[in-house]
């Protein structure tokens, strides 16, 4: 048992190809052995049945002959031999047990036959027959009594299957050799097949070992088949595509974040140097430096908060408290606060239909504020910003329309990319900001199963609409 446990443990930690080879060889060897055993027993049974049939046939023919004979007719060797099948020996014994007719005087004596009797013959033998083993021979015997001229005689029929025994021994050796050769072939074929089948996995392993952050372009060659390993290879390649895209996005994100933080840090450091040199003696420089440092600190705080929001959302750790909300109350609240804090633009709330939605109150308000902040930022002073919240069937369409600089058609899909900022077409300068607001708004919309639509034209303004499902 300990040896078996060690073998199973070693097999458990072996290669898959080794496991497949061993399992294939065992299954093939078992099936081949079972087939050979059944064939051997079938052949053995058929031969022995043939021996039994020849005995029974000889006995029936002899009975018919004896029944047809006249009672006063003497038994003779020639007449008694005629009904016998070749290979069957007959001995006729009188009532005293003396052999009076023997078709083969050189045949095994009755005493030796009795000495070689098998107590428990094979299950397939006829239970009415005796079976004896003598040297390399197997001998069958069947007895029959008959009465002739008032005297009882005993007929003993014998059948030897020595030649069959030799044949069976040779057949057994051949089948064992076939089993051994089959086991070797099964092991070789199993090893070849397992290596062939698992080749894509080996390729994937080598590919994975060669992949590094600096080299994400390697892919597994997918062959034009439709098996599980091909599907695994495609899945592996798709995973690498996603990893590469994620790493590139992360690298770009880190690079852009570093760039965005570099400017306010440089400004704060510059004004700090001015304060250390002339701030104490020049009130004007002091006030200017404090205001600049305060403004840049607020910008950095806003940028850091947005970066943290996106980082939490990427890790699915941004909490959302979904609840039933009246959207008209949220729109009113955002509109009132925006109107009070914005004096350079005209903000109008044209429609505000009531509807109950399932959403997170904080992030929905944040999304609306982002759209309004962008409208103010990209609209020249004195421009108009119009807000609409209109119920249409099973959804609410919330839209913010401005009269700003507009967005070029080729940039309309890019505005939701992180750190992307639209340039002013008149000055070709980027508008100040972090370039993260719309990315956050897009994430909020996606989490609420909302759809964002953009309609913009350069120099004429932009309308951003959000299709919000009604509860």
CATH number, domain with residue 267: 1.10.287.130
Q: Give the pLDDT score at 327.
A: 94
CB neighbour class for 159 (10 Å; exposed up to 12, middle 13-18, buried from 19):
buried
At residue 95, the 3 state secondary structure works out as coil
310 and 343 fall within a common domain: no
Residue 252 lies in a domain: yes
Indicate if 11 and 157 belong to the same structural domain. Answer: yes
Asked whether residue 272 falls in the same domain as residue 332, the answer is no
Sorted by sequence, the CB contacts under 8 Å of residue 150 that are 6+ apart come out as none
Whether residue 439 is contained in a domain is answered as: yes
CA distance 270 to 265: 8
* ∠ Cα 55 56 62 (to 5°): 90
83: in domain? yes
How buried is residue 331: exposed, middle or buried, by Cβ count under 10 Å (0-12/13-18/19+)?
buried
Q: Note whether residue 207 is domain-resident.
A: no
Query: Do 26 and 175 fall within a single domain?
Result: yes
The boundaries of the domain holding residue 404 are 322-469
* Domain-located, residue 418: yes
pLDDT digits (tens, 9 = 90+) for 359-397: 999 889 889 988 998 899 889 999 999 999 999 889 999
Same domain, 161 and 25: yes
Last residue within a domain, chosen from 131, 165, 186 = 186
Give yes or no: residues 150 and 10 share one domain: yes
Residue 347 has φ and ψ, to the nearest 5°, of -115, 125
Q: By C-alpha distance, which of 365, 358, 388, 373 is closest to 438?
A: 373
On whether both 165 and 63 belong to a single domain, the answer is yes
User: Starting from the edge strand earliest in sequence, which strands make up the sheet with 130-134, in order?
Assistant: 99-102, 88-93, 151-160, 137-148, 130-134
Low-confidence ranges of the chain (pLDDT < 50): 427-428
Q: Are residues 22 and 143 in the same domain?
A: yes
What CATH number should be reported for the domain holding residue 374?
3.30.565.10
Q: Report the pLDDT value the prediction gives residue 434, as an integer from 0 to 100.
A: 66
Do 248 and 306 lie in one domain? The reply is yes
Residue at 217 is within a domain:
no
Residue by residue, DSSP assigns 428-441 as: --BPSS-S-HHHHH
Report the DSSP beta bridge partners of residue 322: 360
Burial 272-302 (b: 16+ CB within 10 A, else e): eebbeeebeeeeebeeebeebbeebeebbee
Residues 244 and 181 in one domain: no
Q: How many CB atoms lie within 10 A of CB 421?
A: 20
Is 194 within a domain?
no
Q: Which of 186, 218, 252 is the last residue of a domain?
A: 186
64 and 180, same domain (yes or no): yes
Give the predicted TM-score (pTM) of the model.
0.49
Evaluate whether residue 212 is within a structural domain: no
Given this model, what pLDDT does residue 396 score? 94
Name the residue among 209, 213, 311, 177 with its Cα closest to residue 257.
311
Are 57 and 174 within one domain?
yes
Picking from 295, 314, 333, the residue at the C-terminal end of a domain is: 314
Q: What are phi and psi of 317, to 5 degrees?
A: -115, 5
Provide the domain count of the chain. 3
């Amino acid at each position: 048992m300990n040896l078996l446990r060690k073998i199973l443990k070693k097999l458990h930690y072996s290669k898959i190809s080794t496991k497949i080879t061993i399992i294939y060889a065992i299954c093939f060897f078992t099936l081949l052995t079972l087939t050979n055993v059944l064939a051997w027993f079938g052949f053995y049974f058929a031969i022995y049945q043939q021996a039994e049939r020849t005995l029974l046939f000889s006995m029936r023919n002899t009975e018919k002959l004896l029944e047809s004979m006249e009672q006063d007719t003497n038994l003779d060797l020639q007449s008694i031999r005629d009904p016998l099948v070749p290979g069957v020996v007959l001995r006729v014994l009188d009532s005293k047990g003396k052999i009076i007719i023997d078709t083969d005087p050189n045949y095994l004596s009755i005493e030796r036959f009795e000495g070689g009797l098998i107590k428990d013959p094979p299950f397939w033998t006829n239970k009415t027959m005796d079976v004896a083993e003598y040297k390399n021979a197997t001998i069958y015997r069947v007895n029959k009594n008959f009465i002739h001229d008032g005297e009882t005689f005993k007929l003993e029929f014998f059948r030897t299957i020595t030649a069959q025994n030799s044949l069976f021994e040779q057949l057994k050796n051949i089948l064992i050799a076939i089993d051994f050769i089959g086991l070797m072939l099964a092991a070789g074929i199993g090893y070849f097949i397992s290596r062939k089948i698992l080749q894509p996995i080996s390729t994937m392993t080598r590919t994975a070992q060669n992949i590094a952050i600096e080299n994400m372009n390697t892919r597994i060659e997918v062959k034009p088949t439709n098996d599980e390993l091909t599907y695994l290879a495609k899945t592996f390649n798709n995973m690498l595509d996603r990893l590469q895209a994620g790493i590139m996005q992360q690298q770009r994100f880190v690079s852009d974040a570093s760039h965005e933080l570099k400017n306010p840090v440089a400004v704060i450091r510059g004004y700090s140097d001015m304060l250390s040199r002339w701030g104490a003696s020049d009130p004007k420089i002091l006030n200017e430096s404090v205001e600049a440092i305060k403004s840049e600190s607020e910008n950095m705080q806003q940028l850091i908060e947005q970066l943290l929001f996106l980082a939490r959302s990427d890790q699915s750790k941004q909490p959302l408290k979904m609840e039933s909300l009246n959207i008209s109350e949220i729109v009113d609240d955002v509109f009132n606060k925006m109107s009070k804090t914005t004096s350079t633009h005209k903000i109008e709330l044209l429609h505000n239909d009531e509807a109950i939605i399932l959403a997170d109150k904080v992030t929905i308000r944040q999304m609306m504020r982002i759209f309004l902040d962008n409208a103010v930022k990209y609209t020249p002073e004195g421009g108009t910003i119009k807000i609409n919240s209109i119920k249409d069937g099973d959804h609410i369409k919330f839209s913010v329309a401005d009269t700003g600089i507009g967005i070029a058609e080729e940039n309309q899909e890019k505005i939701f990319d992180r750190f992307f900022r639209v340039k002013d077409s008149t000055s070709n300068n980027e508008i100040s900001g972090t370039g993260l607001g719309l990315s956050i708004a897009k994430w909020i919309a996606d989490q609420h199963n909302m759809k964002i639509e953009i309609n913009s034209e350069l120099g004429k303004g932009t309308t951003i609409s959000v299709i919000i499902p009604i509860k």
